[in-house]
Amino acid sequence: MFDKILIANRGEIACRVIKTARKMGIRTVAVYSDADRDAVHVAMADEAVHIGPAAASESYLVIDKIVEACRKTGAQAVHPGYGFLSEREAFPKALEAAGIVFIGPNPAAIAAMGDKIESKKAAALADVSTVPGFLGVIESPEQAKTIADEIGYPVMIKASAGGGGKGMRIAFSADEVAEGFARARSEAASSFGDDRVFIEKFITDPRHIEIQLIGDKHGNVVYLGERECSIQRRNQKVIEEAPSPLLDKKTRRKMGEQAVALAKAVKYDSAGTVEFVAGQDKSFYFLEMNTRLQVEHPVTEMITGVDLVELMIRVAAGEKLPITQDDVKLNGWAVESRVYAEDPTRNFLPSIGRLTTYRPPEEGRNGKAIVRNDTGVEEGGEIAIHYDPMIAKLVTWAPTRPEAISAQAEALDAFAIDGIRHNIPFLSALMAHPRWQEGNLSTGFIAEEFPEGFTAPEPAGQVAIRMMAAAAAIDHKLNQRKRGISGQMRAPGLFAFERDRVVILAGQSYPVTVEPEGEDLQVTQEDGTALTVASAWRPGEPVWIGTIGSERVAIQVRSLLNGVALQHAGAAAEARVYTRREAELAALMPVKEQAGSGKQVLCPMPGLVKQILVSEGQEVKTGEPIAIVEAMKMENMLRAERDAKVAKIHAKEGDSLAVDAVILEFA
C-alpha cells in the first residue's frame, strides 16, 4: 500500500479523497493554483504544492507540473478526482514514465472508453445496444446539417472528449444545428482542449441511468447497482438517486451485465461508470463510459456500503477486489442534490462572491435517515469564476425513497448559504414536486415543469401555516428579549397586545394569539386551531429548527426591517408580525414600485465577453443573438428580448464584466 498519494484536483473531490486516504493511514499531497491558496483541500492535506495561476489551463491541466509536484514530495501515486486530467490518456502515461502509479484505469481503457466516438464503436463490438448516430468526426456546419437530416430530428451534438454537460447541444431543426455545432466545438476546445464533436439521435422523453463499475488488475469486474440522473438542466445533472425508481431486478441485471461485458472487453481496472439512455418502457441504449469517479458516486456508496475511493486506491496498489458480484446488496435509498453557486431565478446563471454564511446541516444519523455533505468550501471562502460552480453535494439515505426524499427536503431547508446566489430554493421546490415524488422522471423534467424558469412560489397550505407559526415564534422570542431589559416596570405575564398578534405572510393576514407554555409556545388561529411550537432558535441564527405540532421543521430566516424573510420547502415570503392596530395601519401603507431598465442589456452573471454579435445602429429582432458571455466554463448566448435598434455598445470582446454591467443600450 502507498505511503503518500497526491490528489491532482481541487475543491470537494480533493477533500473527499483526502478523507478516505486519512482513514487508510495514507499521507496526502494537495496541489493548488493562485485562486486556491486558501482553499479547504489545501488545509486538509498533509502537504500542499503551488502549481500556477488561477486558469486551469496553466495549473490543474498541466501534466508536467503535477509530475514535478510528485517528485518534490515523494508521492507514489496520484488520484485525479473527476474533470481536469482524470480522463486524459496522456496523464497516466506521463505518470508511468516517471514511476508514479495512477489511481484510475489503464491508459488503453481510457483511450477506448474516454473518447465518446471510440467508446460507441467498442460498445457495438461488445454487443451493447447503442443509440443511432454518426460516429465519425464532423468537420463543418454543412456536414453536421447533412448528417442530422439523415438521422432525423431532434439530434444531440456532443464533444467527443466531453463531460459535465460541456460541449453539448440539442438541435430540433437544421437552423439549430449550425449554431449548436459552433457552440459545442468552442466549448469543447476551451474545456477539454479538443474540439471534435459527433452527432447522434436524441431520444425523446428519455431517462438517464448509469451503472457503477469497479474492476481490478486481475480481470475481476463487478457492478454496484445503478443511479438515476434524469433531473438535469443544460445537460448537467442536478439531482441523482440510487437505485432508480424505473428499473426492476431483471432490467438492472441486464444493464449491469452489459456494462461488465464492455468493461472486460477493454480490460477495465478501476472505478468507472457506463451511462445509458433509457426509455420509459425500460429499453436502454449505451450513451458513454466515464473512465473516472463520478460526481454522484456517494449515492452508490450509501446503498452498498462500499467506499469507492478506497477500492480505487486498493486496486491501483495491485490488490484484488474484496467483493464479488454476489456480495453486492442494495440497501435502502439515497438522494443527492448538487448545491451550485448559480441563480435559479436568472435561468441558473453562475454566481460568484464570498460565502458570508455557510452552515450545512448536521451530518450523521437523523432518526431513520443519514445525512452526508461532501464539500470543499467553508464560511468566508470565495467562489471564483475560474472553476465549476458546485459548492456541495448533499446526500441523504433512508430505508425507502419517500423517507430519503423527506430527509433531503429537511436537510435542504437547514442548509444556510449567504453572500452569493445559490440553487437551494430550487432544489427544495423539486423535493416537494409531486412528479418527482412519484418517480415519473425524464431528462426533460426541469424544462417541462419550469418552462418559464424558476421563481420561488409563495407559501400555501401547510407550508404557509408552518411559516406563519415560525414567524409568530420568532417575533415572540425577539419581544421576550426586549422584555428582559433591566429597569422596566412590568406587570407579570403578557399584555393583551403582546398576546394578540397579526402575522402578515406574503400579503396574507393571520390573526393569532400566542401563549407561552413552559419552554414552548402555543399559537392559536382565529378558527381555534392551536399549534404547539418548540425551538431552541436564537436571534441571529440563519436557520430556525424546531417542531410545529408533531412535525420537525427547518426554515431559513433572514432579518428584514421590522420583519423576517422566510424560506421553506421551496417557498419564500416576507413575514411581519404586528399588534392588531399596527396591522390595520400597515394595510393602508402604499407599496413603492421599482423602476425598470428595459433599454439596457445587462450582463446576467460575472463573466468574460467572448463575442459581441451586433454593431451600433443595427436593427435586431426578438430572439436574435446579441453577445456570448463565458462563465465557469460555459458559454451563454444573450438574445434580444424585443425588436429594437442598438444605440450604444459599452463592452468589447475580452472584457471581464461584473453581474448587471451594461453590455449595450437600445434606442
Q: What residues act catalytically?
A: 288
CA 408 to chain centre: 14
What b/e sequence results for 537-560 when a residue is b if at least 16 CB atoms lie within 10 Å of its CB, and e otherwise?
A: beeeebbbbbebbeeebbbbbeee
Closest CA to 225 of 255, 203, 205: 255
Q: Are 167 and 240 in contact (CB under 8 A)?
A: no
* Residue 617 burial (10 A CB sphere; 0-12, 13-18, 19+): exposed
665, containing H or E segment: strand 662-666
CA distances from 26 to 66, 300, 495 (A): 19, 24, 64
Kindly report the number of other CB atoms within 10 A of residue 533's CB atom.
23
Q: Concatenate the DSSP letters of all residues of 465-510 into one string.
A: HHHHHHHHHHHHHHHHHHHTSTT----SS--HHHHEEEEEETTEEE
424, containing H or E segment: helix 424-431
Q: Which SS3 state, helix, strand or coil, does residue 251 take?
A: helix
Task: Give the 3-state secondary structure percentages of the chain, helix then strand then coil, rounded to 5.
Answer: 30, 35, 35
Closest CA to 130 of 360, 256, 285, 295: 285
Q: Strand 520-525 relative to strand 600-602: parallel, antiparallel, unpaired?
A: unpaired
Cα–Cα distance measured from residue 281 to residue 248, given in angstroms and rounded to the nearest whole number:
11
Rg (CA), the chain: 27
Amino acid present at 600: Q
Q: Which SS3 state, helix, strand or coil, does residue 294 take?
A: coil
Cα–Cα distance measured from residue 221 to residue 317, given in angstroms and rounded to the nearest whole number:
16
Q: How long is the chain?
A: 667
Q: Concatenate the DSSP letters of all residues of 302-365 into one string.
A: HHH---HHHHHHHHHTTPPPS--GGG----SEEEEEEEESEEGGGTTEE--EE-SEEEPPPPEE
Task: Count CA atoms within 13 Å of residue 445 on its CB side.
Answer: 25
CA 114 to chain centre: 23
The three grid cell numbers given for residue 506, joined into one nine-digit string? 406574503
118, containing H or E segment: helix 116-125
**Element counts in the chain: helices (H) and strands (E):** 18, 40
Q: Which SS3 state, helix, strand or coil, does residue 116 take?
A: helix
Cα–Cα distance measured from residue 109 to residue 632, given in angstroms and rounded to the nearest whole number:
29
Q: Which SS3 state, helix, strand or coil, does residue 226 take?
A: strand
Q: Are 8 and 102 in contact (CB under 8 A)?
A: no
Determine if the peptide bond prior to 590 is cis (ω within 30°): no
Quote the Cα angle for 641-646-649, to 5°: 105
The three grid cell numbers given for residue 398, joined into one nine-digit string? 433512508
Amino acid present at 42: V
Beta-bridged to residue 228, according to DSSP, are: 209, 241
Cα–Cα distance measured from residue 310 to residue 316, given in angstroms and rounded to the nearest whole number:
10
